[in-house]
Amino acid sequence: MIQPKRPKTTPNAHRAARHSLPAFEPPSLAYLQAVVAPFKLWFDPRAYGLENIRPERPCLLVGNHTLYGALDFPLILEAIYRERGVLVRSLADRFHFAAPIWRQWISQFGIVEGSRHNCTALMEAGEHVLVYPGGAREVCKRRGEQYALTWKQRTGFAYMAIQHGYDIVPFASVGADNAYSIVVDADDIHRSPIGWALKQLGLEEAYLRKGDLIPPIGRGIGLTAIARPERFYFSFGKPIKTGRMQGKEHDIDVLWGLRNRVEKAITRQIQELLLVREQDTDQGWIRRTLRRL
């Protein structure tokens, strides 16, 4: 295990002054491990390719967001911190920061609102950064969207990586999308009287982004909301270097070329992890039984 490192705060004083964030003191590894202990016991995760995250070379981690978004992320954060000594700073959708208590809770782990200003500040400070291009839409999955990437027309992560010469480490997460079965999704709600009312009141676009923020209703074990104890699998791929692309962040073809390359890498890793999951017979009879309920 590599000893955790402290974030670099001002590698370039004049740039940091233009793009700054509040001072951040990372929690101890022991504290983070205590927080994720129940998740770790329940989901018994496996991680591959962590050596592709180099503590001395900051990178942008780009991956697939899973159903509800909160089951696997703490375990990803802990695995990187424990094995590579890096507390990755994550960019999150702005709706996370609308609730004061929740905002304070996630901020203690270095999570900031996703914006180009904040991403620039983190990269100027030499931080490792994590982003989910699919955002809320990928969290609020519909039926049949297990492990699907829903990135729309987003190329912002590619722009930031190229502008700052950051390597992109594509990563994949498998397991969380199987922890729940979707009973009611956003499409069902759109077709319901509730959906009709939202449209009539003009609230759908203003508050729910045409369904992007409507979480599905799922069931876990039996008819309960308890997640099935699916084993989680994480894969961190080889870095995709952007150094030779610097200065071309406004070139649409370059942006989409990089985005497509990252998207293909993540898709390939997801398929590889699904195969690992299928062939994993060492899960114990209790886990296998509860997974079938």
pLDDT, position 207: 58
What is the rounded CA–CA span in Å between residue 188 and residue 178? 20
Q: How far apart are CA 42 and CA 119, in angstroms?
A: 33
Question: Which pLDDT band holds residue 14 (cuts at 50, 70, 90)?
Answer: very low
Higher pLDDT, 210 or 54: 54
* Average pLDDT of the segment spanning 234-255: 97
Global pTM reads: 0.91
The pLDDT of residue 18 is 64
**278's tokens:** 């299928």
Write the pLDDT tens digit of every residue in 263-286.
999 999 999 999 999 999 988 888
For tokens 């997640």, name the residue: 227
In this predicted structure, the answer to whether residue 230 has a pLDDT above a threshold of 90 is yes
Give dist(CA 113, CA 92) in Å, integer.
Answer: 5
CATH hierarchy code of domain 13-178+227-291: 3.40.1130.10
Considering only 8-12, 28-32, 202-206, 210-214, which range has the smallest mean pLDDT? 8-12
Average pLDDT over residues 54-60: 98
pLDDT at 196: 84
- pLDDT recorded at residue 10: 36
Each residue's pLDDT tens digit, 152-206 = 999 999 999 999 999 999 999 999 999 999 999 988 988 888 888 878 888 777 6
Q: Which residue has the tokens 């999955």?
A: 141
Domain boundaries defined on the chain: 13-178+227-291, 181-219
Q: Which of 129, 1, 115 is nearest to 61 (CA)?
A: 129
Q: How far apart are CA 10 and CA 20, in angstroms?
A: 9
Flag whether pLDDT at 4 surpasses 80: no
pLDDT at 214 over 70: yes
